[in-house]
Amino acid sequence: MKLGIIDYGAGNLHSVANVCKSLGYQGTLISSAEQLENEGITHLILPGVGSFGDSMAAINARSLAQPIKDWIAADKPFFGICLGYQVLFESSEESPGVEGLAIFKGHVTRFPKNELKVPHMGWNSVAPSTEFKDKWSEMGTDSPYLYFVHSYFPVPEDPSIIAGTCTYGIDFAAAVSRGNLFACQCHPEKSQATGQQLLKHFLKS
């Protein structure tokens, strides 16, 4: 396999690359459609930190939106992290008028006002969906604890793609999956051994 990590200026880019390297997988930074086509990439990670609008602007500026869509349409191994998860949907409350990649139907929304602080920051447990138990395999627990930092989360129109849920005041879709695609709101690169196992499962697929 050959790992590609989309480079569009995301703040957690090198953290993701370093964790993958520690697992024995050297990632190639991909910043253009030509690279993605010519580097022989077999597995692709889309990391992300920041805002929905800025992330889509950066992806579009590098002409990477359509190549990412084509990659996913071909059902090649794909892993989206945080903003790299959110931009798979049509739009976000955070950036009105900005179109996402629209891989999935649904809208990214902000946590409602309640007694809990926003952003949701810190460790929280994820309840894997029965249909996607294999995506969370070899973690040694049925409720893995992972690290989150976010104020917004996707609401998929199709509940059958939800691979795991998390509770922070309300239940939200912590991950989605379809075919060889997996994307999560947490940061596996910051989630120590548990997050590393999540990435390792993907990289071995």
- Catalytic residue annotation: 82, 187, 189
Joined together, the tokens standing for residue 164 give 């795991």
Residues β-bridged to residue 172: 166
Rounded-to-integer distance, Cα 62 and Cα 31, Å: 7
Contact indicator for 199, 186 with CB cutoff of 8 Å = no
52-78 burial: b if 16+ Cβ within 10 Å, else e: bbbbbebbeebebbebbeebbeeeebb
